[in-house]
Amino acid sequence: MTPQLLRATLFHTPRDPFREERALEAYADGALLIEDGAINGCGDYGAIRRIYPDVPVRDLRGGYLLPGFVDTHIHFPQVRVLGGLGYTLLDWLEHNTLPEEARLADSDYAAAIAREFVPALAAHGTTTALVFGSHFSHATALLFEAAEAAGLRVASGLVLSDRMLREELHQTPEQAYRESTELIRRFHGKGRLLYAVTPRFALSSSEAMLEVCQTLLAEHEGLRFTTHWNENVREIVEVMRRFPWAEDYLSVYERYHLTGRNAVLAHSVHSTPAQLERLAATGGAVAHCPCSNAALGSGFFPMQRHLQAGVRFALGTDVGGGTGFSLLKEGLQAYLLQRLAPEPYLLRPDQLLYLATRAGAEAMGLQEETGDFRPGKSADYVYIRPAACCPLANALDQAGSLERVLGWLFTLAGADHIEEVAVAGRVIHRRECKPLA
């Protein structure tokens, strides 16, 4: 690929704005130098141009360049359950969601879902995602193949359960071990794909199944781990009934060493300071899914507590418990709910950007590859360009500060405003065109 210089207003958070000063780097007239799929320079256009006077420039002024979004919690088989309102978690699973997940037993149906799911990620600016696969091995393989063909960075895995769901969705622990091992051999480390060991949640997992998870993680280098945790009060009561030896929900996962640095636990709505301190000590991260937490009435995410305990967290859309694929919307929802939470936290735009990008990369252990525009990173970007009639079009002239412009983007921008999305410098989505994959 010949080098190119992208010229636009540019934002990224190469540092953690919850812990460090001046974490946001923003340039009204910015430039991103891309060479062989990697970022080779990022800064003020004039300064970068002086260093690289001969590199061809793509003039993207009038729009905004952000690092590709990272979705740390999303379900592949749930595209078509979006919009099922009026439930709480356990009845939502039973009546709205598991019947649909069972339909992926049919390979043609699963392939159709993969064709809906993967382009939707790209169209919303998501370049990296930790994805709950299917309970069916063939469907999970179809997701991996579609993600690879599209060029996305995806960690996913066979969803494991051996009780409490529907019979068709259960595997025996032996089958779970065998099928997971096959998928790991086929997809883990292939291009940008990674494998994530994925028990659905403790409620649908026997101790033997959790032991399988522990074994898989011990047998293969670099696997990720993901599951649900502390989402809903009824779920927690049921988990405690089924694991009578457990001190609390976290201790179920702890017993099988499933809370380490490779772990991303989704929701953490009802976590106590003591549990969060234990999670911080083992290094596990949390996927915060504010749209889902509100839509399913799960509760307020205790952000203050996570910050105090030092637990890392990042955003997840939780399609289809959530309300769609947009991490911009998820950022705004996090802001809105934290204003109203019993222990409120006033989120700033730089923190929203971090939670939608670099924090996700850190949670997934991919911070050396993606999440910001530091030189050496993969050129994963989202280009937002509002139409002339949109209030966003005037943000740069009217907002007064670049931080305020970022606030406008999280408040007003959505998939309709995303003109181009790239991974490793290769365009994977262009507005109004079919995805290139």
The span from the CA of 223 to the CA of 244, in Å, is 29
Report residue 225 as tokens.
Answer: 């781990």
Q: Per CB under 6 A, which region of 18-26, 89-97, 272-280, 416-424 contacts ligand GUN?
A: 89-97
Under DSSP, is residue 225 helix (H, G, I), strand (E, B) or coil?
strand
How far apart are CB 418 and Zn ion at their closest, in Å?
A: 24
162 binds ligand GUN (CB under 6 A): no
How far apart are CB 184 and ligand GUN at their closest, in Å?
A: 22
Binding mask 290-329 for ligand GUN (x = CB under 6 A): --x-------------------------x--x--------
Helix (H) or strand (E) holding 229: strand 224-229
12, 49, 228, 305: residue in contact with ligand GUN (rule CB under 6 A): 228
Q: What is the largest CA-CA distance in the chain?
A: 68
Under DSSP, is residue 312 helix (H, G, I), strand (E, B) or coil?
coil
How far apart are CB 296 and ligand GUN at their closest, in Å?
A: 6
Taking CB within 5 to 8 Å according to partner kind, which of Zn ion, ligand GUN, none is near residue 200?
Answer: ligand GUN
Computed from CA positions of residues 246, 217, 151, 183, in that sequence, does the dihedral angle turn out positive or negative?
A: negative
Taking CB within 5 to 8 Å according to partner kind, which of Zn ion, ligand GUN, none is near residue 306?
Answer: none
DSSP result, 151-179:
T-EEEEE-EE--SSS-GGG---HHHHHHH
135 binds ligand GUN (CB under 6 A): no
Instruction: Determine the residue with CB nearest ligand GUN.
Output: 321
Smaller CB separation from ligand GUN, 200 or 270:
200
Instruction: Using CB atoms within 10 Å of the CB of residue 237, give its burial: 0 to 12 exposed, 13 to 18 middle, 19+ buried.
Output: exposed
89, 130, 142, 213: residue in contact with ligand GUN (rule CB under 6 A): 89
Report residue 304 as tokens.
Answer: 């203050």
Taking CB within 5 to 8 Å according to partner kind, which of Zn ion, ligand GUN, none is near residue 89?
Answer: ligand GUN
The span from the CA of 249 to the CA of 243, in Å, is 9
Q: Is the distance from CB of 72 to CB of 366 less than 8 angstroms?
A: no
Binding mask 380-399 for ligand GUN (x = CB under 6 A): --------------------
231 binds ligand GUN (CB under 6 A): yes
Under DSSP, is residue 346 helix (H, G, I), strand (E, B) or coil?
coil
The span from the CA of 108 to the CA of 114, in Å, is 10
Torsion of CA 101, 325, 437, 70, to 10 degrees: -110
201 binds ligand GUN (CB under 6 A): yes
Instruction: Determine the residue with CB nearest Zn ion.
Output: 318
How far apart are CB 291 and Zn ion at their closest, in Å?
A: 11
Nearest to 201 by CA among 167, 163, 175: 163
Torsion of CA 335, 339, 344, 348, to 10 degrees: 40
End-to-end CA distance of the chain: 18
Distances (CA, A) of 296 to 101, 113, 319, 382: 18, 23, 12, 29
Binding mask 316-355 for Zn ion (x = CB under 5 A): --x-------------------------------------
Smaller CB separation from ligand GUN, 60 or 202:
202
249 binds ligand GUN (CB under 6 A): no
The span from the CA of 169 to the CA of 165, in Å, is 7
Taking CB within 5 to 8 Å according to partner kind, which of Zn ion, ligand GUN, none is near residue 49?
Answer: none
330 binds ligand GUN (CB under 6 A): no
Number of residues that bind ligand GUN (CB under 6 A): 11
Smaller CB separation from Zn ion, 124 or 288:
288
200 binds ligand GUN (CB under 6 A): yes
Residues near ligand GUN (CB under 6 A) are 75, 89, 93, 97, 200-201, 228, 231, 292, 318, 321
Interface ranges with Zn ion (CB under 5 A): 318
